[in-house]
Amino acid sequence: MYASIGGFRRPSTPRTSRLTVRLAVLASTVALSAAGLAVAATPSSAAVCNGYVGLTFDDGPTGSTSALLSVLRANGVRATMFNVGQNVQSNPSAARAQVDAGMWVANHSWNHAHMTSMSQSQMQSDLSQTNSAIQSATGVRPQLFRPPYGETNSTLQSVASSLGLRQVIWDVDSQDWNGASVGQIVSNASRLQAGQVILMHDGIQNTRDAIPQIMANLSSRNLCPGMISPSTGRAVAPDGTPPPTTPPPTGTPTTPPPTGGCTATATTPNVWGDRYNTSVTVQGAGNWTVVVALTPPQRVSTTWNGSPSWDSTGYVMTMRSNGSGNTFGFTTMMNGNSSARPQIRSCTTG
Ligand SMILES: [Zn+2]
């Protein structure tokens, strides 16, 4: 249903109000689909990677984000999603599904305005609001920013930088926004060289249909999809990728050395095919703070009996007591790594 709309797109065109209505109607469908998406991504560890390229998808989340994520996962692709803040706010579960599928989430402005005509304070407000929406929906603070239409100036760059955002444009334009055929998108992507970044969009059928051929071309050249470095803006190997030979789960509690007067003991009472529950019991303190580290791409989807906060990576959770007793818990999505378990880093009083 988006193919006809795609034909009228300018690069990263703001959505029409009619599309907005459609997306609102589809939001509940996406939420349901996200829950059903808990299938491990096909590992691409067999590929020989002599270099990395950054696959990027702009303007989401949309009503077809779950379809895009399904294709990416089926092809073992991790990509960077440049999200529009108001889309995230209206569809936070789709943004969360992006992260749960192993994607990196980034800032593409609040509502896709022409930002170079904004004042400095308007830019600041726009990017901050978008960061907050993404962090609130996903637990991840964006580190990358792509200006709408690729339009930027020195003021916008310095505002982005002050918010910890690295500006990323693109090296290769897939032309998917311009009605390119699947073959044309594949052909454009075949120009990608190691370190480079390609512009694509969420919500376009031809883009989704091109992904298997794009991946076949990249692997024939020993190029692999990577992350975009927040320090250089270039595509690099994903960090935090679990080693292929992670030790199997032992089922034994994780007990760190007591620090600051309390001890936290973790158990894994429930394990399903795609996720598991962890229960942590604290001894020696009524008011406590426990720091737990995950192994990427695992992600926590739900917590209980505590007040969680997250570091900038989204993989380190600080849980504080909230009056619900001395046992808290959380559900972790495996996201393709079924063996890793959370590590308790510290337990402190207060
Ligand atoms: Zn855009």
Distance 112 CA to ligand 1 centre (A): 6
**CA–CA separation, 185 and 179 (whole Å):** 9
Distance 219 CA to ligand 1 centre (A): 27
Distance 169 CA to ligand 1 centre (A): 11
Q: Check residue 43 and give its pLDDT.
A: 43
Distance 11 CA to ligand 1 centre (A): 6
Distance 150 CA to ligand 1 centre (A): 8
Q: Which runs of E-coded beta strand occur in the chain?
A: 51-60, 80-83, 104-107, 144-145, 166-167, 172-173, 197-201, 223-225, 227-228, 235-236, 263-271, 275-283, 288-293, 299-304, 307-310, 316-320, 327-333, 343-349
Angle at 80 between CA 75 and CA 83, to 5 degrees: 125
Above 60 in pLDDT, residue 29? no
**CA–CA separation, 256 and 231 (whole Å):** 33
pLDDT category at 310 given cuts 50, 70, 90 is: confident
**Positive or negative CA dihedral for 131, 134, 138, 143?**
negative
CB 224 within 8 A of CB 80: no
Question: Closest Cα to residue 285, out of 267, 265, 261, 320?
Answer: 261
Q: Check residue 8 and give its pLDDT.
A: 38
Distance 278 CA to ligand 1 centre (A): 39
Distance 62 CA to ligand 1 centre (A): 12
Q: Check residue 213 and give its pLDDT.
A: 98
**Two tokens at 57?**
């998808």
pLDDT in tens, 221-257: 999 999 999 999 999 999 855 434 334 444 444 445 4
**CA–CA separation, 163 and 131 (whole Å):** 9
250 C-beta neighbours (distance < 10 Å), count: 10
Distance 1 CA to ligand 1 centre (A): 19
pLDDT in tens, 82-103: 999 999 999 999 999 999 999 9
**Positive or negative CA dihedral for 88, 93, 96, 98?**
negative
pLDDT more than 90, % of the chain? 54
Distance 333 CA to ligand 1 centre (A): 29
Distance 88 CA to ligand 1 centre (A): 14
pLDDT in tens, 288-298: 788 888 788 88
Distance 199 CA to ligand 1 centre (A): 9
Mean local confidence (pLDDT), 312-340: 80
Residue 300: what are its φ and ψ, rounded to 5°? -80, 130
Distance 168 CA to ligand 1 centre (A): 12
Mean local confidence (pLDDT), 58-74: 98
Above 60 in pLDDT, residue 261? yes
Q: Check residue 210 and give its pLDDT.
A: 98
Distance 38 CA to ligand 1 centre (A): 28
Above 80 in pLDDT, residue 14? no
Distance 108 CA to ligand 1 centre (A): 7
pLDDT in tens, 135-182: 999 999 999 999 999 999 999 999 999 999 999 999 999 999 999 999
Distance 74 CA to ligand 1 centre (A): 25
pLDDT in tens, 240-249: 554 343 344 4
**Two tokens at 322?**
């909230």
Q: What is the DSSP letter of 93?
A: H
pLDDT category at 33 given cuts 50, 70, 90 is: very low
Above 50 in pLDDT, residue 316? yes
Mean local confidence (pLDDT), 123-130: 98
Distance 15 CA to ligand 1 centre (A): 10
In sequence order, which residues have a C-beta less than 8 Å from that of residue 331 and are 6 or more positions away?
275, 276, 277, 278, 300, 301, 302, 303
Above 60 in pLDDT, residue 42? no
Calculate the average pLDDT of the chain: 82
Distance 114 CA to ligand 1 centre (A): 10
Above 70 in pLDDT, residue 24? no
pLDDT category at 203 given cuts 50, 70, 90 is: very high
* Ordered DSSP codes for 138-161: HS----EE--GGG---HHHHHHHH
In sequence order, which residues have a C-beta less than 8 Å from that of residue 323 and are 6 or more positions away?
none
Distance 59 CA to ligand 1 centre (A): 5
Above 80 in pLDDT, residue 27? no
Distance 82 CA to ligand 1 centre (A): 8
SS3 182: helix
Q: Check residue 3 and give its pLDDT.
A: 37
pLDDT category at 266 given cuts 50, 70, 90 is: confident
Distance 57 CA to ligand 1 centre (A): 9
Burial of 231 (0-12, 13-18, 19+ CB in 10 A): exposed
Stated pTM of the model: 0.60
Distance 23 CA to ligand 1 centre (A): 16
